[in-house]
Amino acid sequence: MSAKAGAAWTLLAGALSGCRGASSVLDPAGPQAARIEAYWWLIAGVSALVLVGVTLAMLYAVWHRRQRPHAEPEPFPPPGLEHRRGRIVGTLVALTVIVLGGLLAASFATDRAIAAFGAGYGDALQIEVIGHQWWWEVHYADPVPGRWAVTANEIHIPVGRTVKLLLNAHDVIHSFWVPNLAGKQDLIPGYAAYLTFRADRAGVFRGQCAEFCGYQHAKMGLLVVAEPPADFAAWLDRQRSPAALPADARQQRGLAVFLARDCGFCHAVQGTGAAGKSAPDLTHLAGRQTLAATALPNTPGHLAAWIVDPQTAKPGNHMPPHDLDPADLEDLLAYLGSLR
Ligand code: CUA
DSSP for 232-262, please give it.
Answer: HHHHHHHHHSPPPPP-SHHHHHHHHHHHHTT
Closest residue to atom 1 of ligand 1, CA basis: 174
Q: How far is the CA of 292 from the centre of ligand 1 (A)?
A: 13
Would you state the pLDDT for residue 78? Answer: 79
CB 116 within 8 A of CB 196: no
Q: How far is the CA of 208 from the centre of ligand 1 (A)?
A: 8
- The rounded Cα 171 to chain-centroid distance in angstroms is 19
Would you state the pLDDT for residue 273? Answer: 87
Q: How far is the CA of 176 from the centre of ligand 1 (A)?
A: 8
Distance CA 231, CA 325 (A): 39
Distance CA 112, CA 102 (A): 15
Of residues 76 and 60, which shows the higher confidence score? 60
Per DSSP bridges, beta strands 221-227 and 135-140 are unpaired
Q: How far is the CA of 321 from the centre of ligand 1 (A)?
A: 23
CB 207 within 8 A of CB 220: no
User: Which atom of ligand 1 is the closest one to the Cα of 131?
Assistant: 1
Checking if the pLDDT of 15 tops 80, the result is no
User: What CA dihedral angle connects 330, 333, 335 and 340, to 10 degrees?
Assistant: -150
Per DSSP bridges, beta strands 163-169 and 154-158 are unpaired
Would you state the pLDDT for residue 68? Answer: 79
Lowest mean pLDDT, pick from 78-92, 115-129, 205-219:
115-129
Distance CA 307, CA 324 (A): 9
User: Which atom of ligand 1 is the closest one to the Cα of 214?
Assistant: 2
Kindly report the pTM of this predicted structure.
Answer: 0.86
User: Which atom of ligand 1 is the closest one to the Cα of 174?
Assistant: 1
Q: How confident is the model at residue 121 (pLDDT cuts 50, 70, 90)?
A: low
Dump pLDDT digits (tens) for 48-66: 999 999 999 999 999 988 8
Dump pLDDT digits (tens) for 167-190: 999 999 999 999 999 999 999 999
Q: How far is the CA of 153 from the centre of ligand 1 (A)?
A: 13
Distance CA 167, CA 188 (A): 8
Q: How far is the CA of 219 from the centre of ligand 1 (A)?
A: 8
Would you state the pLDDT for residue 120? Answer: 62
Distance CA 159, CA 198 (A): 7
User: Which atom of ligand 1 is the closest one to the Cα of 133?
Assistant: 1
**pLDDT average, residue stretch 10-35:** 77
C-alpha dist (Å) from residue 264 to 19, 35, 144, 236, 261: 42, 44, 25, 23, 8
User: Which atom of ligand 1 is the closest one to the Cα of 210?
Assistant: 2
Q: How far is the CA of 133 from the centre of ligand 1 (A)?
A: 7
DSSP-assigned letter for residue 189: B
Checking if the pLDDT of 5 tops 80, the result is no
User: Which atom of ligand 1 is the closest one to the Cα of 213?
Assistant: 2
List, chain by chain if needed, residues with CB within 6 Å of any ligand 1 atom. Answer: 131, 134, 174, 209, 211-213, 217, 220
DSSP-assigned letter for residue 186: E
